[in-house]
């Protein structure tokens, strides 16, 4: 106990000696930074009617000229003294009117100088002293619907420039793909007796598209394809005579299309095809055929374009056809392509689900030409060329949905049908009229 009492007598004075100065100093108001040892001139003579209270809500006493206390700045709402002293503006703050730097431009988000010293932080929608920017007065277009926009988004052009979409179904895709329009097309021409030719045709194709190719909005399109033709007949009187038409005909081709644009008013549609057309029993220099179309375009007003050119068919009795007409798109729901030799009028019908439906009527010069091996006397075993020519008028519907999926179904009437041979023109044969059903699906 004596030892503990002795220790208490030594510890007590040591604690008071160490901590009393710290406790006394903590009751004084301090300013950051060292104070000068010598008061600046005029500081001791500054008027003061009352001691400064750091917890007071009233404005601090005015400071004499050229005196700035480190770490202290009066609020922006207090008026600067007549001596010209002014605090530096805080970051992102717009000064109140009357401050020496009030000539700065007004903040972009307010229509009048704010009453607060600080600008509101970005993307803050709460209530602030500075009003936010008013809503824009210009026209704001709503986002397009999911199914592709107003009628005709997948069909005719929705812009004033008809070059934007040159045929129904060629609207801008939601994204760019290397392969497009992959699918099949089936055609049936009825014929079961007499001077009729029954024909079933199946075409398989795809397109390799190189975007942004040499002045073209749609790029360079390279389309390989293969066509199977299965025939039956004709059997003209007497019944023992049968026209020399192979039961199977084949066509393999590579098609290239390019539509350059030259300024706002001029352009072209160019198509070139090289193919092998045969019954695969013979091969001659005529087996490889070159065909194509070249058309120049001139836009005469925002909805009408003139077209002029030529189509090369490379058939036995018909090599070249003129190509001319006018394209008229009065609105996004209509397209009048009055173009020889393949006119077509299209009209928007309705939207079902995510697909736009169009109806159309049109016409075309149909058929093709093949190298064949003759099987009848006296030309049996010889190589020859055979044309199947006709004129087709048709009507149908096509639909264009998301992801470039589209298809069509049409019914037509076929007339002016004929078989044309190269070796013996006397064996040419006129065929009866018939009906046509054609359908296709592509993605």
DSSP assignment string, 118-177: SPPPTT--S--SSPPPPPP-S--PPPPPTT-SSTTSSSS-SSS-GGG-SSTT-PPPSS--
Q: Is the dihedral of CA 170, 176, 179, 183 positive or negative?
A: negative
State yes or no: cis peptide before 385, omega within 30 of 0. no
pLDDT at 363: 97
Phi/psi at 305 (nearest 5 deg)? -135, 135
In whole angstroms, what is the distance from residue 342 CA to residue 324 CA? 10
Which contacts (CB < 8 Å, 24+ apart) does range 29-36 have?
29/54, 31/69, 31/70, 31/71, 31/72, 32/70, 32/71, 33/70, 33/71
State yes or no: cis peptide before 165, omega within 30 of 0. no
Cβ atoms of residues 205 and 183 within 8 Å: yes
pLDDT at 77: 47
In whole angstroms, what is the distance from residue 88 CA to residue 79 CA? 14
pLDDT at 233: 79
Banded model confidence at residue 125, pLDDT cuts 50, 70, 90: very low
Other Cβ atoms less than 10 A from the Cβ of 162: the count is: 22
Other Cβ atoms less than 10 A from the Cβ of 329: the count is: 25
Rounded mean pLDDT of 225-254?
A: 84
pLDDT at 403: 75
Greatest Cα-to-Cα distance within the chain, rounded to the nearest angstrom? 151
In whole angstroms, what is the distance from residue 183 CA to residue 187 CA? 14
pLDDT at 315: 96
pLDDT at 219: 81
In whole angstroms, what is the distance from residue 200 CA to residue 419 CA? 16
pLDDT at 269: 94
pLDDT at 55: 58
pLDDT at 184: 97
Higher local confidence (pLDDT), 19 or 327 = 327
Banded model confidence at residue 376, pLDDT cuts 50, 70, 90: confident
- Give the DSSP H or E segment for 344: strand 344-352
In whole angstroms, what is the distance from residue 297 CA to residue 302 CA? 13
Cβ atoms of residues 241 and 234 within 8 Å: no
Banded model confidence at residue 277, pLDDT cuts 50, 70, 90: very high
3-state class (DSSP) for residue 4: helix
pLDDT at 239: 52
- How would DSSP label each residue in 176-220? --SEEEEEEEEEEE---SSS--EEEEEEEEEEEEESS-TTBSS-E
Average predicted confidence (pLDDT) for the chain = 72
For the chain, what percent of residues have pLDDT higher than 90?
44
pTM over 0.85? The answer is no
Higher local confidence (pLDDT), 428 or 17 = 428
pLDDT at 187: 98
Rounded mean pLDDT of 340-353?
A: 95
Banded model confidence at residue 82, pLDDT cuts 50, 70, 90: very low
Domains of the chain in sequence order: 194-442 (2.40.128)
Banded model confidence at residue 397, pLDDT cuts 50, 70, 90: very high
Q: Is the pLDDT of residue 85 over 70?
A: no
Task: Output the six-digit token pair for 217.
Answer: 């909005």
pLDDT at 57: 56
Higher local confidence (pLDDT), 57 or 318 = 318
Task: Output the six-digit token pair for 98.
Answer: 């009357």
Q: Is the pLDDT of residue 340 over 90?
A: yes
Cβ atoms of residues 346 and 165 within 8 Å: no
Higher local confidence (pLDDT), 173 or 268 = 268
Length of the chain: 443
Q: Is the pLDDT of residue 164 over 50?
A: no
pLDDT at 389: 96
Strand 266-278 to strand 434-442: parallel, antiparallel, or no bridges (unpaired)? unpaired
pLDDT at 338: 97
């Amino acid at each position: 106990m004596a030892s503990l009492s002795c220790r208490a007598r030594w510890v007590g004075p040591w604690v008071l000696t160490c901590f009393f100065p710290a406790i006394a100093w903590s009751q004084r108001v301090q300013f950051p930074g060292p104070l000068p040892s010598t008061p600046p001139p005029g500081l001791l003579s500054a008027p003061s009617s009352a001691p400064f209270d750091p917890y007071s809500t009233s404005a601090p006493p005015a400071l004499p000229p050229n005196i700035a206390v480190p770490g202290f700045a009066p609020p922006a709402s207090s008026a600067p003294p007549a001596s010209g002293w002014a605090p530096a503006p805080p970051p992102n703050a717009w000064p109140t009117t009357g401050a020496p730097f009030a000539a700065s431009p007004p903040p972009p988000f307010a229509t009048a100088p704010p009453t607060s010293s600080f600008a509101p932080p970005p993307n803050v929608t709460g209530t602030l002293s500075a009003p936010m920017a008013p809503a824009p007065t210009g026209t704001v277009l709503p986002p397009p619907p999911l199914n592709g926009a107003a009628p005709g988004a997948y069909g005719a052009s929705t812009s004033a420039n008809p070059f934007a979409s040159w045929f129904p179904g060629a609207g801008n895709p939601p994204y760019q793909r290397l392969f497009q329009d992959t699918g099949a097309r089936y055609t049936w021409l009825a014929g079961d007796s007499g001077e009729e030719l029954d024909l079933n045709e199946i075409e398989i194709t795809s397109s390799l598209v190189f975007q942004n190719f040499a002045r073209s909005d749609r790029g360079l399109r390279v389309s390989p394809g293969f066509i199977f033709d299965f025939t039956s007949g004709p059997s003209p009187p007497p019944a023992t005579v049968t026209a020399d038409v192979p039961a199977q005909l084949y066509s393999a081709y590579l098609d290239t299309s390019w539509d350059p644009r030259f300024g706002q008013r001029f352009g072209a549609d160019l198509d070139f095809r090289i193919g092998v057309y045969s019954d695969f029993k013979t091969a001659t220099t005529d087996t490889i055929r070159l065909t194509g179309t070249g058309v120049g375009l001139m836009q005469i007003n925002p909805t009408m374009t003139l077209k002029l050119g030529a189509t090369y068919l490379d058939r036995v009795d018909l090599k070249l056809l003129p190509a001319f007409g006018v394209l008229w798109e009065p609105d996004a729901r209509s397209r009048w392509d009055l173009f020889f030799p393949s006119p077509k009028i299209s009209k928007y019908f309705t939207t079902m689900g995510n697909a736009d439906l169009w109806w159309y009527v049109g016409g075309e010069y149909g058929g093709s030409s093949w190298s064949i091996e003759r099987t009848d006397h006296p030309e049996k075993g010889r190589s020859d060329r055979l044309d199947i020519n006709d004129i087709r008028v048709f009507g149908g519907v096509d639909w264009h949905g998301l992801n470039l999926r589209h298809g069509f179904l049409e019914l037509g009437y076929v007339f002016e049908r004929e078989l044309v041979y190269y070796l013996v023109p006397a064996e040419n044969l006129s065929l009866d009229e018939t009906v046509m059903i054609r359908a296709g699906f592509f993605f």
